[in-house]
């Protein structure tokens, strides 16, 4: 190997090392509770969603198009695993990702508001390409908590992507939020230009859709 070829190989290794380190930083900053890839998922658990569609989402095209993914399904249908798997793919593709359980996000927003750091947190979330909100289910939000969550989701409309996993159909979201008008607006924001996966039944997509 000549000196020039040696330098080229050295530069390739340096670039690869930097890219790997950047991926590791993005994955660390995402805050995943654990790491699970889509390759590790048992697709026999998906009785109503085609495996090919999950891998289509894994191309991360929905992020570049600023679309959302909503997964509705009972406990044990693999929503969290798929969310994390898609999040990891996004990190490896160079996107900034942040993972929260909805309860943890609401707590963080409330504390930030109390200590007058809400604007700072909101600006941090604005920079995230993909926000993953896990376990939107069987929670009761007071008016202030609901407003804070709505602001985060509303501000991302057509600016960044959201993945939401829940075990409640849209019609039951009023069990978590007492303001039915806000529930309708929240569902409208989330389902606009989105993919909705009903893990308990037939999967379907929504493009420019609204829930009445």
Please give the average per-residue pLDDT across 19-48, as a whole number. Answer: 93
Specify burial of residue 23 (Cβ count, 10 A radius: 0-12, 13-18, 19+).
Answer: middle
Q: What is the pLDDT of residue 211?
A: 38
Assign 201 a pLDDT band (cuts: 50, 70, 90): low
Indicate whether 208 pLDDT > 60.
Answer: no
140-151 pLDDT tens trace: 899 999 999 999
Burial 40-53 (b: 16+ CB within 10 A, else e): ebeeeebeebeeee
Q: Between residues 48 and 68, which one has the greater pLDDT? A: 68
**pLDDT reading at 17 higher than 90:** no
**Poorest-pLDDT segment among 36-40, 55-59, 171-175:** 171-175
| pTM for this predicted structure | 0.89
pLDDT (0 to 100) of residue 20:
87
Residue 189: name the closest of 209, 169, 204 by CA. Answer: 209
Domains of the chain: 31-206 (3.40.50.300)
């Amino acid at each position: 190997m000549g000196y020039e070829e040696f330098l080229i190989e050295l530069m390739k290794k340096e670039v690869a090392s930097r890219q790997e380190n950047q991926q590791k930083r993005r994955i660390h900053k995402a805050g995943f509770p654990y790491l699970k890839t889509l390759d590790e998922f048992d697709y026999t658990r998906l009785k109503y969603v085609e495996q090919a569609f999950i891998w289509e989402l894994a191309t991360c095209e929905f992020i570049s198009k600023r679309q959302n993914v909503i997964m509705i399904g009972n406990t044990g249908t693999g929503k969290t695993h798929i969310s994390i798997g898609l999040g990891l793919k996004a990190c490896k593709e160079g996107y900034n990702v942040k993972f929260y359980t909805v309860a943890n996000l609401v707590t963080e927003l409330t504390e930030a508001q109390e200590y007058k750091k809400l604007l700072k947190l909101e600006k941090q979330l604005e920079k995230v390409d993909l926000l993953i909100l896990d376990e939107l289910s069987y929670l009761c939000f007071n008016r202030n908590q609901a407003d804070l969550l709505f602001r985060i989701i509303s501000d991302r409309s057509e600016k960044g992507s959201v993945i939401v996993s829940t075990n409640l159909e849209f019609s039951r979201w009023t069990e978590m939020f007492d303001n039915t008008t806000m529930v309708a607006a929240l569902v409208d924001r989330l389902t606009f230009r989105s993919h909705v996966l009903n893990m308990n039944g037939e999967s379907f997509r929504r493009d420019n859709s609204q829930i009445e």
